[in-house]
Amino acid sequence: MVENKKIIMIGIPGVGKTSLLSTMVDIIKSSGKSVHVISYGTLMFDVAKENGLKNRDELRKLPVIEQQKFQKIAAEKIATFTEQIIIIDTHAFINSPEGYYPGLPEHVLKIIQPTNFVAVSAKPEEIYNRRMKDDTRNRDKITLANIKKELDVQSGMISACAVITGSPVRLVLNREGKINEAADKIIKAIGL
Ligand code: ATP
Ligand code: MG
């Protein structure tokens, strides 16, 4: 019997999660396996839209209590998916006006029950450049110092997730122009 995997992939904005995931999906599908990718942000935005929100980048500016409500509903939706390989594209924390708040608090982890975490990082200078060239998003003020700070916060948040769930964290560096390499590493590490 093949083991079910529910993988949570985290990384700060612009690190390359979505690009990496699309490469991973191509590789996994080419080996005949089925995989379901879920964007936590999109799911939350869908819930928020039903409640009147218009713009995706407005979501993280809502009062934390509002975001937590949408976050919980999204987690409950994720828990209903039953595919063998589920990969969730999300953030370990969200940069809100009230401060960094966890994307994966204990109550959410208990609902989702992930088997693995993948924490994506990259050189701060590369993240900076990736954010600058991606004009489809309405990003916050970008500085190298902020990016370094965010990488630091990510490391604390993901350690907490591992301790709460008992699931392992695979750290992956998404090197410039080497998406395939990073995708292969994750697939091998988790046995996808
Ligand atoms: P967000 O959290 O905001 O959704 P993300 O982590 O999903 O961000 P992507 O949208 O995948 O980030 O990537 C951001 C930009 O960086 C894109 O323009 C993408 O093409 C580029 N990029 C991602 N990975 C690499 C890489 N290894 N080398 C070069 N460019 C990359
Ligand atoms: Mg993305």
CA of 102 to the centre of ligand 1 (A): 21
pLDDT for res 115:
97
pLDDT for res 154:
98
List, in order, residues 6 or more apart from 71 with CB less than 8 Å away. 44, 103, 105, 108
| pTM: predicted TM-score of the whole model, two decimal places | 0.94
140 lines ligand 1 (CB under 6 A): no
pLDDT for res 136:
77
Tokens of 106: 């204990």
Q: Give, as one character, the DSSP assignment of residue 155.
A: H
Give the integer Cα–Cα distance in Å for 102 and 108.
Answer: 10
Which of the four CATH numbers 3.40.50.2300, 3.40.190.10, 3.30.1120.10, 3.40.50.300 does domain 5-189 have? 3.40.50.300
29 lines ligand 1 (CB under 6 A): no
Per-position pLDDT tens, the chain of length 192: 567 999 999 999 999 999 999 999 999 999 999 999 999 999 999 999 998 999 998 998 899 999 999 999 999 999 999 999 999 999 999 988 889 999 999 999 999 999 999 999 999 999 999 999 877 777 677 899 999 999 999 999 999 999 999 999 999 999 999 999 999 999 999 999
For the chain, where are the alpha helices, taking DSSP H only?
17-30, 40-50, 64-78, 106-112, 124-133, 144-165, 179-190
C-alpha pair distances (Å), 83 with each of 39, 44, 87, 173, 178? 15, 20, 10, 27, 29
190 lines ligand 1 (CB under 6 A): no
Q: Give, as one character, the DSSP assignment of residue 60.
A: G
- The domain segmentation of the chain, as residue ranges, is 5-189
pLDDT for res 45:
95
pLDDT for res 97:
85
